[in-house]
Amino acid sequence: MTYGHHQLGIETPGKIIAVHLNYPSRIAQRGRAPEFPSYFLKPASSLAPSGSIIERPAGTELLAFEGEIALIIGEPARWVAPEDGWKHVAAVTAANDFGLYDLRAADKGSNLRNKGGDGYTPVGPAAIPAAGIGQDAWRVRTWVNGELVQEDSSDTLEFPFGQLVADLSQHMTLETGDVILTGTPAGSSVVVPGDTVEVEVDAPGAPGAPRTGRLVTTVTQGQRTFGDFGNRPSVTDQQRIEAWGDAAAHAAAVAAGKASPLDAPAHATDESGSASPLTAEIRELLDGVAVATVSAALRKRGYVDIFIDGVHPNHEGDTILGTAKTLRFIPFRPDLFRAHGGGFNAQKRAFDTVNEGEVLVVEARGIPSTGTVGDVLALRAQVRGAAGIVTDGGVRDFAAVQQFDIPVFSQGAHPSVLGRRHVPWEVDVTIACGGAAVQPGDIIMGDRDGVIVIPPFLLEEVAREAAEQERADAWVAEQVAQGAAVDGLFPMNAEWRARYEAERGTEA
């Protein structure tokens, strides 16, 4: 691997060694103060460059980032003193020590499975030569979706860089190119599919204020599940709190629809083995339930902007239920379309990778005056087993698409090609479709009334409430059909409620 502008001539480091706790801000957050540094190893196969994509594995929820300062060893170190340790560091770069809390229990402090996955150690994009810069002069910052969430400096460390090198050199030879991840400050938290994490290290007080540039990683939703021949993901409430940072951060994430609440079960697995909250039981509960009924249950919980407005089904009577896979278009610009519109572009990737049971949701900025789906791509989605397509744009080859079985919700027909208004830009990110925010893995439900977006962690409780409401509404309709007035019946007053409960009890 090459480390940005600083060429070490080494394909991959022999060792990647990470420190458990080092920044006082993180130590205070964790509530335990180490007397000495402790370490774990990360495999070289976990390395990734800036601009890489990391998958949150199917069936997991707690993928966390940790922005860190990474040391690159120059002259080999063995039995060196703490005051000489820094001399063996050739360069400094940025790193992100990703970890999956769902697998923490598997290997205790060794972190092999929860931190050793492919792409779990992005580094770069450039490395800064350490010569002439002191070990206390470095700063690390982390941004999530453009918001600064971590900032700290090496002069606060419990265990300075020189001490880490010296300590490790007592037990093994640190060889040229080895990497030491020096710990993360407070602010580490969970990221979800669609999020972008950026880490940068700099030396603001050094001549020229050198910086690594931002190390960029984008999170997507993985589709492969872990087999039962190894440790399966599991989540506790304590892990949820620690992963998000603290109880307040977790509560805020729950309120924002990004986290599962305490006491929520881990992500379920459906009969096909795919990780999905849409279990057979949930599907049965929602069978025959109207979108309007589910939207009322969501409204009670404060979710009022969950409607994908302006879209209609291509077949009368179509319904749709599945997990979201997202595709985003940006406004047309000739140079961008030349760079991104041809070949295996984002649009083709989305249709070629949509999985069974997924709904492909397309952000077309509400523009109906060009096609965003055509007959070939719709057929490809149907062959792959997609549960449907939703676009807030137009559909080309509308009559041909109507002949397919796959439900397609759109603003209607338009003969124009994609390049008239759009550039296919990215997949598996948070999008805005028909005025609603949609994240990969959200639940998409639609019928003739429209299409709604259900946050996965709310699915079970709103499904149960909506199913019961649907039964009650059907009973009310029966009373009206028999001549009852709606006053007092819809909604039911105490008298009608008692009659309903009594009849339901008799049927049970």
Q: Which residues are annotated as a binding site for substrate?
A: 374-377, 396
Known binding residues for Mg(2+) are: 397
Reduced to 3 states, what is the DSSP secondary structure of residue 367? coil
How many whole angstroms separate alpha carbon 445 and alpha carbon 115? 35
How many whole angstroms separate alpha carbon 454 and alpha carbon 58? 18
- As a dihedral over the C-alpha atoms of residue 309, residue 314, residue 317, residue 322, rounded to 10 degrees, the angle is -60
User: Which strand ranges, in their side-by-side order, compose the sheet holding 89-96?
Assistant: 39-42, 16-19, 179-181, 67-73, 89-96, 128-129
CA atoms within a 13 Å half-sphere pointing along the CA-CB vector of 206: 18
User: Exposed, middle or buried: residue 507 (CB in 10 Å: 0-12, 13-18, 19+)?
Assistant: exposed
Output 109-116 pairs: Cβ under 8 A, ≥24 positions apart.
109/20, 109/38, 109/40, 110/40, 110/41, 111/18, 111/40, 111/42, 112/40, 112/41, 113/230, 113/231, 115/18, 115/40, 115/42, 115/46, 116/42, 116/43, 116/45, 116/46
Residues 6+ apart with CB under 8 A from 144: 65, 189, 191, 195, 196, 197, 198
Known binding residues are: 374-377, 396-397
Contact yes or no for 372/462 (Cβ under 8 A): no
How many whole angstroms separate alpha carbon 478 and alpha carbon 500? 11
Q: Which two tokens stand for residue 475?
A: 């009973």
Count, residues in the chain: 508
Q: Which two tokens stand for residue 438?
A: 């949609």
Contact yes or no for 360/381 (Cβ under 8 A): yes
How many whole angstroms separate alpha carbon 29 and alpha carbon 455? 29
How many whole angstroms separate alpha carbon 402 and alpha carbon 413? 11
DSSP per residue, 297-360: HHHHTT----EETT-EESSTT--EEEEEEEEEEEE--HHHHHHHSSSS-HHHHHHHH--TTEEE
How many whole angstroms separate alpha carbon 116 and alpha carbon 364? 37
How many whole angstroms separate alpha carbon 204 and alpha carbon 191? 28
